Structure 1
Amino acid sequence: MSTLTYTDVAEVDLTLLGRTAADWKQTAAHLRRLSAQARSGLLPASERARWDGVNATVTRDFIRRTTKEFADACTEATSIAHVLEDAHQELTKLQKAVRHIRDVEGPKLGMNLAGLPGMAAPSLHPTKPAEIELSRRLKVLAAHAAEIDASVARALRKSHGTDPGNFGHRSYGSLDAAQSERALELAGVGPMLSDAQFTELNSILAFNAKDSDFSTAFYQGLGSPKQALEFYARMSLDCTVGDQPERLALAKDLQRAMGTALASATDPDNRTHLPASWAEEFRALGTQPVPTPALGIDRPYGYQILGGLLRYGDYDPRFINPIAEDILRIHKEDPDFFMETKPRRSDDPDFGFNPSGLTGAGYDPLTSVLEGLGHSPEAAKEFFRAGRHLDDLTSAGFTWAPDTLDRSSEDSHEGGPDALGHALEAATTGHPWDDTRPGLHRDKDTAAIMRKVIELYSPTTEVKPQGALMDSLGRMGAAYIDDLNYSTLNFGGGGDDVNRAGLFGRSGGPRTDFDEYKVRNFMNVVAADEEGYKILSAAQQIYTSSALASFEDDPESGKAFAHNAAKVHGILDQSRISQVELDFKDKEEQANLDEEKKGEWRKYAVGGTAAVVAGVGSTLILGPAAGVAVATVVPLAMDAGAGAVGTAYGTHTLQYLKDNEVKNDGKALKTMQDIEQSCAEELWKPMARYADTVGLSAEKRGELYREIEESHALGRSKMQSARQVG
């Protein structure tokens, strides 16, 4: 495959390719007419003629061959025209995307990409996440262009053939057809593929997986659902056995690409798709042993192999949900049903149908299908809408399968809860759980599922979330941070519907009241965990900072909003503090203090003394007159916040606010990764302007900040009481 840089893609003149495609299209039309004339005129006349002597054989055969060559020339020209036309369209899209990054997105980040060689520009010093993402996208776009270039060259060679005296060999109705043919040629080699061939197969699949014409042709070319499973099983097991990191990496790429392609090919809304019988046969194969030579007598069930593919791709609910429901039913009836086929290879934990290694080795299809729902928001939303399935998966008697070959692993049962968390993230946010592109899609159904989650995971219930769920619960809370704040306004008194309308009425849509008591319990559970605390606190910082900037025209409301935000921070802070105290209740005080110092959460929990908040830099926010209390309201905690907000939902929350809620200046809406101390002043200007507008003296200003600190203390005290009662 040729090596192209993003500069090559940006600068190439595609008009020549477009004109060439048009010329071949016109040539094909001319040849079509000539071929028709030969078939309807020359050939019939030749066949009716009374040839004598040599003419009876030589001339007649020559006319027959000539007529065929006209038809073959037309076929070849048409094939070339189709391939070139598709290539021109695809490369034009890629070029437009590259130029937009070079000319628009890059300069916004201070990156001058024009005139610099290849990938050098964005990869020299990519220190900020946004720059790194641009660099990655440029690399992917250039690689995609290179794959198209290679596919076109191969298709043209096959169309023309190697015989200069004979027109027409392979004929393609599209570039997709040529690419699927090559992918199937490579797939036919199976585990004997060289690394170079395997890389080529993955490249073709990756860049065409979402094209239903390609994906449908590829899966149909594999034969049947059973043959598709057999192919994936052979490749997966061959690449996960033993210590072969290069082949394992190739298998990971194949898993992702084949899964994405299966989602595309089974979506009935796509113009081209597999027949419904494929879904039916997959379900029929689900509990049938599939002969797999690499496992010998241990024959896996169809669902175990299929699960490896379901982990990737955005699946239509009509395809994946019946599979998920069937797998859940089987698990409820016999939790060990699928575990009985696990091979006895405790020294080889990667061996299995999940080369990615995420949440299991791939022998538990329930974990696999939940991961699939985590990438399929609409399917996940429909799956959890009624609540029945969530109740089943979180009931006291429910046991998760140990989806690992390492029987000594302490985390053998963690994969299932982790995958459940991913599925719930997709169901409550309308967004694949690990997609870093901003794009929350909340609606009444996602909010209803979030309400169920908040009610479910509470200290007042018997359901106790496993540690693997905490990061997901934190991200779900971050995605609904505005509604969590809205729900807690009446917490501690002082709020009513009028106040809430005034403080939250600027949002782009109606808020959801999850009930302040249930929200407090939910935050208590999640923020007790260090990871959950960091994610929720970072989201709270983003939301508070963004919203305060929108109250510059209404400082009184801004003050009230800040009070409520400080209260929410108090809830989060005390939840984490109490857990640390609980974890170290039987240890010396010094050990407790050392743990507090190590924990990033410590930077958020302000105890009211200058020594505690010295590292936060409170005087940089409003100047020396601000006092330490201001750090309590929205602790910026640059070091601790950056990592937590680097998660997807920090960015998602920010983008959601920009698109649907508060409308304020760009500085207040920067991602936390880019926030520096100089920006902190911008985040707190609304409160400073309020103090200046009403002419507060230094004494009154101090009173204001003490009031806000009291709101933070109120949140902490209520959580302390709740802990003591619990």
Structure 2
Amino acid sequence: MTTYQQLRDLSLTPLEEAVETWRSATDELSAQMEEARDGMAARAADAEWQGETASAARTRIDRVATAFGDGFLQARATRILLEDFLESLRSLKRRLADLEDTAAAHSLNIRDDGTAVTRYDFGVDHAEQFAADISPETRAAIEETTAGIQQILVECAHLDEVVARTLYDIAGEDRDTFRSPGTVGLEAGLHHDALRDAAEFVDLARRQEALTREELARLDELLLHHLDDQAFAEHLATGLGAEGLADFWLNNASYRMPGTGDRGSEEWRLLAGLQEHLGTVLGTATQSDSRAMEQWEADVITLAADGMPQGAQVMSALMRHGTYEPDFLTEYGDALIAYEQSRAETSPAVLWDSQSTVVYDFTGGEDLGHDPMAGFLTALGNNPDAATAYFQPPDGFDPLDEDSELNSRLRYLATDREWEGGQVPGDTRAALGDALLAAATGRPTADWENPLAAGTADLRTPETAAVMEQVIGLYGDLGEGGDPHLGLLGEQPEMAESLGRMAGAYMDDLMYLGGAKFSGTRDGFEDMFVPPYGDRLGNDPAEVRSFLSILGRDETAHRITTQAAYAYTLGNLDAHPPTSEAAYNEGMNSLIAGARVRELLDQGRVDQIALDFENDTEAAEEARARAGGWVKSTLNAGITAGLTAGAIAVSGGAGTILVPTVAASTGVFLGEITNQTTDSALDLGDQATAERESRMSAQEFYNAGVEEIDRLATRYYTLADEAGISTPEYGRYLQDLEEAYDLDME
């Protein structure tokens, strides 16, 4: 296979010269063809010449004219192929250069084998020694760059093979005779190659006996060559068929690796790669609207609808990867739910767990793919448009009406589905969180791994907001069941991270609705908290406050949502620098709303700690210290952040979040996050720095919060004073802040 260094150093000049040579040859043969056809052949046809000699001569002349025509067609096909090849190589080299720019921006070097490394360990194999010093963003850049280069090299090798085969096809086996080529252009060559490779895959996959490791590796190689190839994907899917696909995976993967004893082995990794790549190709196939694919999709849905558990488990495992057509995902998910509901006497966790040692999924969690709902929900998480459509509320839904019907699928999955009795129900609950996060934010699961690379534009719409309204109604209502203090989140702790991220993505709405103790005290909020998607969440403010309090009770959700509230508040202070009295008032209102949201979160955490550690003072103090405060939850976590139009991306100890902002650039306050330093005027003192004690009493926890809020207010006031802005209401604002953050420590 072509190496990174070979492609990087490849000169395209010889190929450019070859293209010009074949252009000249094509022009010359075109002229000769016209002369043979319009001159010699035409005159022979018109000549008043009779008899056997005349007939033989005309046949010979026609054959020569045809040969000139075929020669022209072969030359033109060669020229077109080489032109396409040249442009494809230019594209690959441009993509390679872009990845090199990405590497340079993250202070990375690229080894000869195409592996990206940090500059200080270039050429030295000390990965473990430096691993702890690599930030999440740098690690993500290393993985993205390395994977991108390897994909380019695979594409280059495949391109080279296709061009070589197509040139042979154009020339034909008889080198002494011109012939009309059957393949013209690289696209046609790739199409022909795709059909041949799909046929090879299907022939191997249909074998009754289990394939060897080498044969499985060959299948994976074929998939890698055609991940986004519609023709290959469709012919593979329809060639195997739905049941053939299930049989192939069961015989060559699931039954091959019973249990988890070989997890991490070379064969396990091979099957994990095969699963990922086959799932990606099948997703590509579903984008086709051909009749053959419509039938294939219907047959796959039948596997779920007619109670063929292993077929559904195989398909759900494979669809963890790839981009699937939304209508297909909707129908498939509905078939799974319908099947489960038709067997209501049996818990789904038991229903799908008939053969506990069989492995369906080599890339996911601990349940090994036994619950097909987990794979389906993972697919929704990877396909946000499909997820948003899947969880849309019915017509007439009103978040202010307690009797308004929720989306029936959401209701079933979040409240009605029985979970107990299976292997690892948390896998599916976490997948539900990913699906809802994608549905409510418009962002696929993978983006949350490295949003700085994925882009931080705000992707919310009225449709995503309709999903969020339902989520707040479900998880902000203690009457929905579960823990009496945590509601549904109490029995679904795996949802905490996703719920925290959803809250962060809608922090502007949550500040507006939950940032005042009473609806009548939101004066001045209308212009401060304006979502960009054209509307606001329609939830009742009391419901929003309940939602925030419940998130505060969970340690993970509290950490993420507190960090989001902090980042949003800083962004708002930067967006409204105190350069006028009106701007100063807006900034202080933002700070008051932020303090109130923090009070809801911190009060929930304090109350839950008191319940969890009622008889263990030391554990309670340690838990309060972990809860920390706004600054501790950012600076102490090793946070890095990036700001682009519409959102702040923050990643670190609290996980990765995206927070909406109207700040156009990083100012005094956001700089606290992005620069990893605190302005001297924002130094929060011993209690609020990274040296904060590891144990805190309830009063110390409250005092630290008050101090952090006061110092932000003082810094903002100081900036106004330095700008010569009159601040007659400063005393009232301080009183409002004190009332906004007023924890009940009883």
With normalisation by structure 2, the TM-score equals 0.73
Which residue is 2:159 aligned to? 152
Q: Secondary structure at the match of 2:330?
A: helix
Query: Is 1:550–1:663's contact at 8 Å kept on the other side of the alignment?
Result: yes
Which residue is 1:399 aligned to? 418
Which residue is 1:529 aligned to? 554
Structure 1 residue 376 displacement after superposition: 1.5
| Alignment-mate amino acid for residue 95 of structure 2 | A
Query: Is 1:304–1:365's contact at 8 Å kept on the other side of the alignment?
Result: yes
| Alignment-mate amino acid for residue 664 of structure 1 | S
2:575 to 541, 550, 575: 550
> For the residues of structure 1 that align with 2:545 and 2:551, how far apart are their CA atoms?
10
Structure 1 residue 9 displacement after superposition: 4.5
In structure 2, the CA distance between the partners of 1:677 and 1:101, relative to structure 1 (3 Å rule), is farther
Map 1:450-461 → 2, pairs under 5 A: 450-461=468-479
Query: Is 2:220–2:274's contact at 8 Å kept on the other side of the alignment?
Result: yes
Q: Secondary structure at the match of 2:425?
A: coil
Map 1:15-30 → 2, pairs under 5 A: 16-17=14-15, 20=18
> For the residues of structure 1 that align with 2:679 and 2:7, how far apart are their CA atoms?
39
Structure 1 residue 580 displacement after superposition: 1.5
Structure 1 residue 199 displacement after superposition: 5.0
Query: Is 1:539–1:650's contact at 8 Å kept on the other side of the alignment?
Result: no
Deviations along 1:212-241, one digit per CA (max 9) or x if unpaired, are 344334434x34333333334434325543
2:658 to 636, 653, 664: 653
> For the residues of structure 1 that align with 2:337 and 2:608, how far apart are their CA atoms?
34
Map 1:41-52 → 2, pairs under 5 A: none
Matched, 1:234 2:251: yes
Structure 1 residue 528 displacement after superposition: 1.4
In structure 2, the CA distance between the partners of 1:132 and 1:562, relative to structure 1 (3 Å rule), is same
Structure 1 residue 13 displacement after superposition: 3.6
Q: Percent same amino acid at aligned positions? A: 22
> For the residues of structure 2 that align with 1:575 and 1:549, how far apart are their CA atoms?
28
> For the residues of structure 2 that align with 1:304 and 1:565, how far apart are their CA atoms?
46
Matched, 1:565 2:585: no
> For the residues of structure 2 that align with 1:528 and 1:224, how far apart are their CA atoms?
49
Q: Secondary structure at the match of 1:236?
A: helix
In structure 2, the CA distance between the partners of 1:344 and 1:652, relative to structure 1 (3 Å rule), is closer
Q: Secondary structure at the match of 1:415?
A: helix
| Alignment-mate amino acid for residue 482 of structure 1 | D
In structure 2, the CA distance between the partners of 1:210 and 1:149, relative to structure 1 (3 Å rule), is closer
Query: Is 2:116–2:145's contact at 8 Å kept on the other side of the alignment?
Result: no
Deviations along 1:369-391, one digit per CA (max 9) or x if unpaired, are 22211211111111111233245
Which residue is 1:624 aligned to? none
Matched, 1:216 2:243: no
In structure 2, the CA distance between the partners of 1:694 and 1:674, relative to structure 1 (3 Å rule), is closer
Q: Secondary structure at the match of 1:382?
A: helix
> For the residues of structure 2 that align with 1:322 and 1:16, how far apart are their CA atoms?
53
Matched, 1:691 2:718: yes
Query: Is 1:385–1:445's contact at 8 Å kept on the other side of the alignment?
Result: yes
Structure 1 residue 646 displacement after superposition: 2.6
Which residue is 1:608 aligned to? none
| Alignment-mate amino acid for residue 145 of structure 1 | I
Query: Is 2:312–2:372's contact at 8 Å kept on the other side of the alignment?
Result: yes
In structure 2, the CA distance between the partners of 1:132 and 1:539, relative to structure 1 (3 Å rule), is same
2:322 to 308, 313, 328: 313
In structure 2, the CA distance between the partners of 1:38 and 1:330, relative to structure 1 (3 Å rule), is farther
Query: Is 1:304–1:362's contact at 8 Å kept on the other side of the alignment?
Result: yes
Map 1:271-350 → 2, pairs under 5 A: 275-287=293-305, 300-335=309-344, 336=346, 346=356, 348=357
| Alignment-mate amino acid for residue 231 of structure 1 | F
In structure 2, the CA distance between the partners of 1:143 and 1:327, relative to structure 1 (3 Å rule), is same
Which residue is 1:12 aligned to? 10
> For the residues of structure 2 that align with 1:184 and 1:123, how far apart are their CA atoms?
45
Query: Is 1:477–1:536's contact at 8 Å kept on the other side of the alignment?
Result: yes
Query: Is 2:234–2:293's contact at 8 Å kept on the other side of the alignment?
Result: no
Q: Secondary structure at the match of 1:181?
A: helix
> For the residues of structure 2 that align with 1:178 and 1:483, how far apart are their CA atoms?
52
In structure 2, the CA distance between the partners of 1:562 and 1:281, relative to structure 1 (3 Å rule), is same
Which residue is 1:444 aligned to? 462
Matched, 1:479 2:505: yes
| Alignment-mate amino acid for residue 536 of structure 1 | T
> For the residues of structure 2 that align with 1:51 and 1:448, how far apart are their CA atoms?
86
Which residue is 1:375 aligned to? 382
| Alignment-mate amino acid for residue 717 of structure 2 | Y
| Alignment-mate amino acid for residue 602 of structure 2 | D
Map 1:570-581 → 2, pairs under 5 A: 570-581=599-610
Query: Is 1:314–1:375's contact at 8 Å kept on the other side of the alignment?
Result: yes
Structure 1 residue 543 displacement after superposition: 1.0
Matched, 1:710 2:717: no
1:99 to 94, 97, 111: 97
> For the residues of structure 1 that align with 2:309 and 2:479, how far apart are their CA atoms?
38
Deviations along 1:253-282, one digit per CA (max 9) or x if unpaired, are 22222222222221257xx89642222222
Which residue is 1:501 aligned to? 526
Matched, 1:3 2:3: yes
Matched, 1:638 2:635: yes
Deviations along 1:330-380, one digit per CA (max 9) or x if unpaired, are 11121549878867665x4xx332221337322332232222112111111
Matched, 1:259 2:276: no
> For the residues of structure 1 that align with 2:510 and 2:391, how far apart are their CA atoms?
21
Which residue is 2:704 aligned to? none
Q: Secondary structure at the match of 1:555?
A: helix
> For the residues of structure 2 that align with 1:423 and 1:680, how far apart are their CA atoms?
42
Matched, 1:181 2:215: no
Range moving further from structure 2, 120-129 or 538-547: 120-129
Which residue is 2:129 aligned to? none
Deviations along 1:301-358, one digit per CA (max 9) or x if unpaired, are 4322221222222322222111111211111121549878867665x4xx33222133
Structure 1 residue 526 displacement after superposition: 2.0
> For the residues of structure 2 that align with 1:28 and 1:389, how far apart are their CA atoms?
65
| Alignment-mate amino acid for residue 459 of structure 2 | H
Query: Is 1:342–1:363's contact at 8 Å kept on the other side of the alignment?
Result: yes
Query: Is 1:287–1:302's contact at 8 Å kept on the other side of the alignment?
Result: no
| Alignment-mate amino acid for residue 446 of structure 2 | D
> For the residues of structure 1 that align with 2:713 and 2:558, how far apart are their CA atoms?
27
In structure 2, the CA distance between the partners of 1:692 and 1:362, relative to structure 1 (3 Å rule), is closer
> For the residues of structure 1 that align with 2:29 and 2:255, how far apart are their CA atoms?
49
Which residue is 1:607 aligned to? none
Query: Is 2:476–2:543's contact at 8 Å kept on the other side of the alignment?
Result: yes
> For the residues of structure 2 that align with 1:166 and 1:201, how far apart are their CA atoms?
38
> For the residues of structure 2 that align with 1:211 and 1:144, how far apart are their CA atoms?
14
**Number of positions where the alignment pairs a residue of Structure 1 with one of Structure 2:** 646
Q: Secondary structure at the match of 1:318?
A: helix
Matched, 1:135 2:142: yes
Q: Secondary structure at the match of 1:491?
A: coil
> For the residues of structure 1 that align with 2:311 and 2:504, how far apart are their CA atoms?
37
Query: Is 2:353–2:371's contact at 8 Å kept on the other side of the alignment?
Result: no
Q: Secondary structure at the match of 2:4?
A: coil
Structure 1 residue 474 displacement after superposition: 1.4
> For the residues of structure 2 that align with 1:422 and 1:49, how far apart are their CA atoms?
84
> For the residues of structure 2 that align with 1:704 and 1:49, how far apart are their CA atoms?
117
| Alignment-mate amino acid for residue 417 of structure 1 | R
Query: Is 1:429–1:441's contact at 8 Å kept on the other side of the alignment?
Result: yes
Map 1:35-114 → 2, pairs under 5 A: 78=77, 84-103=82-101, 105=102, 108-109=105-106, 111=107
| Alignment-mate amino acid for residue 249 of structure 1 | R
Range moving further from structure 2, 521-530 or 447-456: 521-530
With normalisation by structure 1, the TM-score equals 0.74
In structure 2, the CA distance between the partners of 1:367 and 1:693, relative to structure 1 (3 Å rule), is closer
Deviations along 1:529-565, one digit per CA (max 9) or x if unpaired, are 1111111112112211111111113222212211211
Query: Is 1:354–1:361's contact at 8 Å kept on the other side of the alignment?
Result: yes
Which residue is 2:443 aligned to? 431
Structure 1 residue 455 displacement after superposition: 0.8
Which residue is 1:248 aligned to? 268
